[in-house]
Amino acid sequence: MTNRPFDLLNEAIGKEVLVSLKGDTQIRGTLKAFDVHMNIVLEHAEQLVNGEPKTKFKQIILRGDNVILIAP
């Protein structure tokens, strides 16, 4: 049962998530890790522009200050 936001993120580890960042940037990838500051590590990630893949990343760290939304 999911009671807290971190529970939902823990359940999403190893699964694909969509992360919206400040500046209308979206990154989709496999969630590998996160911390209490919402810093996020994604693998096999890609930046989306107008819903279409633009830039691919083998691994990327997203700084928590820039995260607006995480959709598992």
Written as tens digits, the pLDDT of the chain (72 aa) is 668 888 999 999 999 999 999 999 999 999 999 999 999 999 999 999 998 999 999 999 999 999 999 998
Residue 5 pLDDT? 85
Domain that holds residue 11: 5-71
CATH number of the domain residue 39 falls in: 2.30.30.100
As for how many domains the chain has, the answer is 1
The CA-atom distances, in angstroms, between 66 and each of 1, 2, 12, 19, 37 are 28, 24, 20, 10, 11
Q: In what order do the strands lie in the sheet with 16-21?
A: 52-62, 40-49, 25-34, 16-21, 67-71
